[in-house]
Structure formats: C-alpha cells, structure tokens
Amino acid sequence: MPRLNKEQRLRAVGMIEADRRHSDVASHFGVTRITILRLASRYKTTGSVNDRRRSGRPRVTTAAQDRYIYSDVTPT
C-alpha cells in the first residue's frame, strides 16, 4: 500500500475538516480507513502531519556522502 506524502496528508486532513467521511477520504487516496483515522488522530493531538521518527539503526553516512557514492557507482 502506498505511503502518503506530506502534501497528501495535508489534503486528507483538509478533507476531514471539511466534513468528508473517513472512508471517502481513504478511498480517494487509495489507503485504508484506519490509516486516515490514525492520521486524523495524530493531527488532532499534535497539530502536525509530519512523519514520526522511526526506530532503527542510526545513519552512518550523510546525504552528500550518499550522493557521492551513488554517482561513483552508476555508469555515465
């Protein structure tokens, strides 16, 4: 199932605030109703639609180093 980007999350919250049903918003974006319910709940409690931090191993390289490595590996 596709992940909603920030713009889509903002639009979904706007649709909910405009009294659209959660199921209608979910079908519009191609996600489950529970996804929209969680998004609405998070927006209500935090006032934000930003992604939360995810657990996992900390990054070792910076974005600039990633670009350098990628450019060094890809054929020109």
Average pLDDT over residues 30-35: 96
Dihedral Cα 21, 19, 45, 57, nearest 10 deg: 50
Predicted local distance difference test score (pLDDT) of residue 62: 95
**51-73 pLDDT tens trace:** 878 788 988 999 999 999 999 88
Q: Where are the domains of the chain?
A: 1-51
Pick the CATH number of 1-51 from 3.40.1030.10, 2.60.120.260, 1.20.120.420, 1.10.10.10: 1.10.10.10
Q: What percent of the chain has pLDDT over 70?
A: 97
Helix spans in 1-76 (H): 6-17, 22-29, 33-46, 63-73
Average pLDDT over residues 13-39: 96
